[in-house]
A = this chain, B = another copy of it.
Amino acid sequence: MKDLIVQKYGGTSVGSVERIKMVAQRIVHGVDNGKKMIVVVSAMGKRTDELVSMAQAINESPPSRELDVLMATGEQESIALLAMAIQAIGYTVISLTGAQCGIRTSDVHRKARIEGIDTERLERELRAHQVVIVAGFQGIDENDEVTTLGRGGSDTSAVALAAAMRAERCEIYTDVDGVYNADPRVVPGARKIDQISYAEVLEMADLGAGVLHTRSVELAEKYKLPLVVRSSFNENRGTIIKEDVNQMEKVLVRGIALDENIAKISILEVPDKPGIAFRLFTSLAVANIHVDMIVQNVNRTAVNDISFTVNVDELQDAVEVSQKFAFEVGAQKVEFDQGVAKLSVVGTGVVANAEIASKFFESLYELGINILTISTSEIKLSCLIDKDRAKEAMIHIHKKFEM
């Protein structure tokens, strides 16, 4: 749709009655500039956490289906309030829940994936209203069940809507100024990046206070949709994420990323049979567990050790799957370690450039930090290190690369 902008406001941006009123003002600027607006919102501030803690006070492991019914109320609350705020300043507006907006998902509660968007109602409402407010993070499956999209869900909702409606761009409003070349909470000299490619930002998903989630960037890349990340608290320009980024200077290292939210699982003395690793990682995939760095230590005996990292949120499930696997194949035992962190340098050509890898390893050596695991992708070089020393390492490497 021509002149259509999709905006997304996170929980802190709509955290209070006052903030909601301010966001309303920001949204109608778009209307004043002749734009059609779709606005995706998260639940207010800590509302989702409040709901989850009530659920846990009632049931230690609440059923996922009911958790989704519960959590979806958070966004439904904020869309109604934001619509009221926009109506109060004289613009025509309507709110839509995930179901009303036609966001169809898979039937995996708490981790649903968007399968498609029936845009008919959305198009009708956009013709009738200047602004359409949509509940992020939620959808509906083929049985009319309420689903939620898991981590980064509202960003994914926004990007999917922007793609489905062929919006000019998708603007993600948050509490930071954009994507930084290192986490500004950790590295004092961290700088905001003005433009960055999808691929680079994907590898730096944890920069800038975890401002963007992988899923939404992948989706934006697939549809070549320009993404803008900026603060809802000021008028700074933010970071533009798009396909081709003009680089006046050849910058090799775009940023340094630190992920402290991971854990390492090791399965010791796994019998060395063909297909055995495949069997483990298939079980983990079926359980919807995202596995990151994988290391298989081949011993001289007929047994291997298999290690991998997961997000700490998925540690409990991953350990359960691993223990079941270990029991079935006759492995010795399963160990896990939450005291690890993943430190990465990101940028086009970092892996091809031996100098960068050597500088990276040298920095860790200078600090006497042991490297537990190394992994590489086309544009990223990552080391698993001791979590206690990760921030110190990050600051040192940022300096070393003179970013």
A contacts, CB < 8 Å to B: 17, 20-21, 51, 54-55, 57-60, 62-63, 65-67, 69-70, 72-73, 76-77, 79-81, 83-85, 87-88, 94-95, 97, 99-100, 144-146
Question: What is the CA–CA distance of A20 and B73 in the complex, to the nearest angstrom?
Answer: 18
Count of chain copies: 2
Measured between beta carbons, the chain B residues less than 8 angstroms from A66 are 80, 83-84, 87, 95
Residues of B within 8 A of A57 (CB): 17
Given contacts A72-B76, A144-B100, contact A83 B95 (CB under 8 A): no
From A77, A99, A100, name the one whose CB has the most chain B CB atoms within 10 angstroms: A77
CB distance from A100 to the nearest CB of B (A): 6
- Candidate in A66, A87, A95, A99 with the most chain B CB atoms within 10 angstroms: A66
Contacts of A85 in B (CB 8 A): 58-59
Q: What is the CB-to-nearest-CB distance from A39 to chain B, in angstroms, rounded to a whole number?
A: 14
Question: In the complex the two chains form, what is the Cα distance from A60 to B60 in whole Å?
Answer: 41
Query: Measured between C-beta atoms, what is the minimum distance from A398 to chain B in Å?
Result: 43
Note all chain B residues with C-beta closer than 8 A to A63.
83-84, 87
Contacts of A62 in B (CB 8 A): 84, 87-88
Q: Are A59 and B76 in contact (CB under 8 A)?
A: no
- A–B Cβ pairs within 8 angstroms, 12 of them: A58-B84, A58-B85, A59-B85, A59-B88, A62-B87, A63-B83, A66-B84, A66-B87, A69-B79, A76-B76, A99-B99, A100-B144
